[in-house]
Structure 1
Amino acid sequence: MSNAEQRLYARESLIYTVTEDLLVILEDKGVSKSELARRLGKSRAYVTQVLSGSRNMTLGSLSDFCFALGIEPKVFLPVGPEPV
């Protein structure tokens, strides 16, 4: 796999993981996309686009989604060399 392909795969994997985690949290908390949109002051279409991965999510919007769901966002970035 080329560098460009690896970068694209990593990007798509991150988007998928974050959006799937948010969808699980929505379901666990019994919050609809419409209710989440209301809490965010955004349209349902915006929420749907973000959660489908078709609209880019910034760290700021991720934080807003988490706040609206009553959770604290945590980001894990490995530091140091990867194990061989």
Structure 2
Amino acid sequence: MVISCVVVGCTKRFQKGSGLKFHRIPISGERRWCWLQAINRKNWTPVRSRDHVCGSHFSSGKLFNSLACLVCPTLCLFTKRY
């Protein structure tokens, strides 16, 4: 299975040794809501095992603390719904 970023317009895919991290969308709660608002895709429901957001969309490039309440993607996100 190819891991690719679900952010509209992002064409990044997982490549072993590239150093680019891919993060699964949170399962539930406020973090999930934050991520889905940031990703901003119309009529789309992510699948936990398949859908990822690449580190390019996080200000640090990666999640430092996966337990932080509102760590969510903020960079290079499109505002138009597709």
Same-fold status (TM-score > 0.5): no
Work out which of the two has the higher radius of gyration on C-alpha atoms and give 1 or 2.
1
TM-score by length of 2: 0.28
